[in-house]
């Protein structure tokens, strides 16, 4: 039997699992998953009892890239032994998630079939929950630390989405809130927008019936509004 890898997204919350992803989870000889909420974990384990979490790849205080390397190996090991492996990651597996891309690339380089199935991402939830159409004024999207490091040219008349602002500047896995470069990020934004410009700290809800976190705040007061899982939405500057 030839091994195969299918990477799927479980969406944000158990209710947003696609039929395509569900079928792949059920059919797998082995299911590996990295999902933060217990309800979604229970849902995928019920679909396939031959499952185990990738969360133990993380080590407190260690660089996240070391954990990612362990995840890639955990996905490939059963593929090499001839199994149909499904790896399920919350949200969209190809959005702000390095291990799925690396595992697929390596599996293909070793001659195995590897595919990715999309899921409902936090960005999809953001557009729905905030009532935002990214096509209206345009939308720029960056991971917060890379936004600081690369300093891309920003068009203030288009929307800006910054991901992982709650861990900006942190390369290590930690259960504690660590965003050492948050003050620097805010200063960079103040170069582009006024202190009074209203931004939105956003966090998608993982549970049916529970409202998402939507916290509008003036840019000058952003630091007090950030949570570890925050995404930042900066609306376009209105044109005169």
Tokens of 194: 């006024």
Secondary structure of residue 239 in the 3-state scheme: coil
Domain 122-234, CATH: 3.30.950.10
Encode pLDDT of 26-73 as tens digits. Answer: 999 999 999 988 889 999 999 999 999 999 998 887 888 899 999 999
What are 183-210's pLDDT values in tens digits?
A: 999 999 999 999 999 999 999 998 888 9
Q: Where are the domains of the chain?
A: 4-117, 122-234
**Terminal Cα distance for the chain, rounded:** 65
User: For 4-117, CATH number?
Assistant: 3.40.1010.10
Output the DSSP codes for 4-61.
Answer: EEEEEE-BSSGGG--HHHHHHHHH-SEEEEE-SSHHHHHHHHHH-SSEEESGGG--TT
Model's pTM, two decimal places?
A: 0.86
202 tagged catalytic: no
- Using CB atoms within 10 Å of the CB of residue 98, give its burial: 0 to 12 exposed, 13 to 18 middle, 19+ buried: middle
Catalytic-labelled residue, pool 4, 33, 58, 90: 90
Which position among 4, 16, 33, 68 bears the catalytic label? 68
């Amino acid at each position: 039997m030839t091994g195969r890898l299918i990477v799927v997204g479980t969406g944000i919350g158990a209710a947003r699992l696609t039929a395509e992803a569900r079928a792949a989870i059920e059919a797998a000889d082995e299911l590996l998953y990295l999902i933060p909420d217990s309800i979604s974990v229970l849902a995928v384990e019920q679909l396939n009892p031959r499952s185990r979490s990738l969360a133990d790849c993380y080590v407190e205080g260690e660089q996240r890239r070391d954990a990612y390397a362990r995840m890639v190996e955990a996905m490939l090991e059963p593929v090499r032994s001839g199994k149909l492996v499904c790896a399920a990651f919350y949200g969209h597996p190809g959005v702000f998630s390095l291990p799925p891309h690396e595992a697929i690339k390596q599996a293909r380089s070793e001659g195995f079939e590897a595919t990715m199935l999309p899921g409902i991402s936090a960005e999809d939830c953001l557009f729905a929950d905030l009532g935002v159409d990214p096509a209206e004024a345009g939308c720029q999207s960056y991971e917060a630390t890379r936004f600081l490091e690369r300093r891309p040219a920003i068009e203030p008349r288009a929307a800006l989405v910054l991901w992982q602002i709650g861990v900006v500047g942190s390369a290590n896995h930690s259960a504690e809130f660590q965003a050492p470069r948050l003050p620097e990020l805010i200063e960079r934004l103040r170069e582009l927008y006024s202190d009074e410009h209203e931004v939105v700290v956003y966090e998608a809800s993982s549970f049916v019936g529970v409202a998402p976190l939507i916290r509008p705040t003036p840019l000058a007061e952003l630091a007090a509004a950030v949570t570890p899982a925050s995404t930042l939405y900066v609306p376009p500057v209105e044109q005169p």
